[in-house]
């Protein structure tokens, strides 16, 4: 099944060039082009696309407001934000609005297509889990409360100790304002921990944005997205 795509940008040439990037792809179908944020929301309501790529800076309704509105009118749509602006505050606002990717213009077709397919694949995963299917096929997912294997309690204790040491090291680096390669390695491990709070993740997003480490930024976006969903569910 093709990924149904909405492209929203107030620049006609950019809308055209972005549409051209996907024109030869069998698994992607552009269902709508929007000229501003208001039109993006209206078209999302009408077409219910799988993915909406929305420019941050647009007239009538800005892109961040449009991303929030799309979540209401088309809950099945996932949003990608894009902008010429790589400022940290814009990145934070885009993630808070619900964007699952942040593309900095100009980007090439490979960057765009990879991000688009990645975001569509992540969006499809929760539905598979809800149906009781694993990523590998039709086997049911293991129960959340499964008992640990023999010896894993010792391993878990060791893991908790290592995690605490990692957190302490990362905190000391953050306080010192370190952003060198060694600090980035520690921060990258910190991002992988499941219990990281939103404030810490947002601070780390600033660091990895400055380093232009898009892979780690994507992971941070996933963590923040999950936390947002958990808050909404409570």
Same domain, 31 and 120: yes
The pTM of the full predicted model, rounded to 2 decimals, is 0.58
- pLDDT for the residue 224: 81
Q: Among the residues of the chain, which ranges form H helices?
A: 12-22, 37-47, 63-73, 88-97, 109-130, 152-175, 181-191, 198-210, 214-233
C-alpha distances (whole Å) from 7 to each of 12, 116, 224 are: 11, 11, 24
Residue 227 lies in a domain: yes
Give the separation between CA 40 and CA 76, rounded to whole angstroms.
Answer: 15
Same domain, 219 and 121: no
Domain containing residue 33: 3-130
Kind and range of the H or E element at 183?
Answer: helix 181-191
> pLDDT of 100-145, one tens digit each?
888 888 888 988 998 898 888 866 644 433 343 333 333 333 333 3
Bridge-based pairing of strands 78-83 and 51-55 is: parallel
Residue 145 lies in a domain: no
CATH of the domain at 110: 3.40.50.2300
Maximum Cα interatomic distance, the chain, rounded to a whole number of Å: 62
Same domain, 102 and 40: yes
Provide the domain count of the chain. Answer: 2
Same domain, 38 and 115: yes
Same domain, 113 and 30: yes
pLDDT at 20 over 50: yes
């Amino acid at each position: 099944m093709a990924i149904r795509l909405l492209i929203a940008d107030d620049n006609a040439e950019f809308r055209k060039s972005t549409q051209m990037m996907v024109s030869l792809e069998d698994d992607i179908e552009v269902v709508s082009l929007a000229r501003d944020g208001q039109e993006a929301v209206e078209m999302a309501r009408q077409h219910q696309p799988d993915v909406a790529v929305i420019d941050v800076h647009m007239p009538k309704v800005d892109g961040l407001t449009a991303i929030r509105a799309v979540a209401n009118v088309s809950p099945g749509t996932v949003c990608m934000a894009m902008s010429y602006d790589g400022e940290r505050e814009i990145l934070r606002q885009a993630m808070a609005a619900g964007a699952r990717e942040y593309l900095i213009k100009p980007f090439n077709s490979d960057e765009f297509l990879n991000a688009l397919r990645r975001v569509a694949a992540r969006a499809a995963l929760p539905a598979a889990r809800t149906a009781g299917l694993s990523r590998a096929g039709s086997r049911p997912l293991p129960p959340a409360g499964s008992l640990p294997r023999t010896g894993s309690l010792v391993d878990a204790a060791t893991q908790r100790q290592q995690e605490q040491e990692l957190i302490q090291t990362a905190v000391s680096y953050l306080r010192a304002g370190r952003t060198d390669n060694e600090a980035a390695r520690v921060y990258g491990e910190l991002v992988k921990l499941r219990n990281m709070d939103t404030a810490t993740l947002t601070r780390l997003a600033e660091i990895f944005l400055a380093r232009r480490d898009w892979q780690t930024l994507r992971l941070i976006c996933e963590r923040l997205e999950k936390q947002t969903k958990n808050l909404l569910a409570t």
